[in-house]
Amino acid sequence: MESVNSSVSVGEKRSKSGFWLVVLGAALWGVDPLFRIILLESLTSTQIVLLEHIIIALFVAPVLWKNRHELRGLRMRHAVALLFISWGGSAIATILFTMGLANGNLNAVLLLQKLQPLFAIIMARMLLNERLPKNFSLLFPLALFGTYLLTFGFEFPVGHWNDFVQVGSLLSLGAAALWGGSTVMGRLMVGQMKYETVASMRFILALPLLLVISWGEGGIWNLPTGSTAMIAVAVNLLGQALLPGLLSLLVYYKGLTTTKASVATLAELSFPMVGVIINWIVFDIVVTQTQILGFVLIWVALFAISRQGGENAPTL
pLDDT bracket for residue 187 (50, 70, 90): confident
> Tell me, what's the pLDDT at 195?
78
Contact between residue 202 and residue 87 where contact means Cβ atoms under 8 Å apart = no
The H-assigned helical ranges of the chain are: 2-30, 32-39, 45-66, 76-83, 93-103, 106-111, 116-128, 136-152, 161-164, 167-188, 195-217, 227-240, 248-256, 261-267, 270-283, 289-309
Query: Quick one: pLDDT band at residue 94, thresholds 50, 70, 90?
Result: very high
DSSP code for 70? G
| Rg over CA atoms, the chain | 20
| DSSP state letters, 145-166 | HHHHHHHHTTSPP-SSHHHH--
Pick from 105, 57, 39, 82: which is nearest to 245 by CA?
57
Question: 36-45 pLDDT, tens per residue?
Answer: 998 998 888 9
pLDDT score of 159 more than 50 = no
Dist. CA 195–CA 70, nearest whole Å: 11
Q: Is the dihedral of CA 145, 129, 175, 296 positive or negative?
A: positive
pLDDT score at 266: 73
- Which stretches of 31-115 are DSSP H helices? 32-39, 45-66, 76-83, 93-103, 106-111
Q: Which run of H or E residues covers position 42?
A: none
Lowest mean pLDDT among 70-79, 157-166, 214-223, 237-246: 157-166
Does residue 56 have a pLDDT over 90? yes
- Neighbour-count burial for 1-16, b at 16+ CB within 10 Å, e otherwise: eeeeeeeeeeeeeeee
Average pLDDT, the chain: 82
Cβ pair 287, 39 in contact under 8 A = no
CA distance 263 to 16: 10
**Residue 8 — pLDDT band, cuts 50, 70, 90?**
very low
pLDDT score of 220 more than 50: yes
**pTM for this prediction:** 0.82
Q: How many Å apart are CA 129 and CA 106, to the nearest integer? A: 35
Q: pLDDT-based confidence at 160, cuts 50/70/90? A: very low
Percent of the chain, pLDDT > 70? Answer: 87
- How confident is the model over 299-311, as pLDDT tens digits? 888 888 877 754 4
Q: How far apart are CA 44 and CA 264, in angstroms?
A: 34
Top pLDDT among 257 and 41 is at 41
Q: What mean pLDDT comes out for the span 214-241?
A: 82
3-state secondary structure of 250: helix
Separation between Cα atoms, residue 146 and residue 19, nearest integer Å? 26
Cα–Cα distance measured from residue 262 to residue 264, given in angstroms and rounded to the nearest whole number:
6
Give the model confidence (pLDDT) of 9-21 as tens digits: 555 566 678 888 8
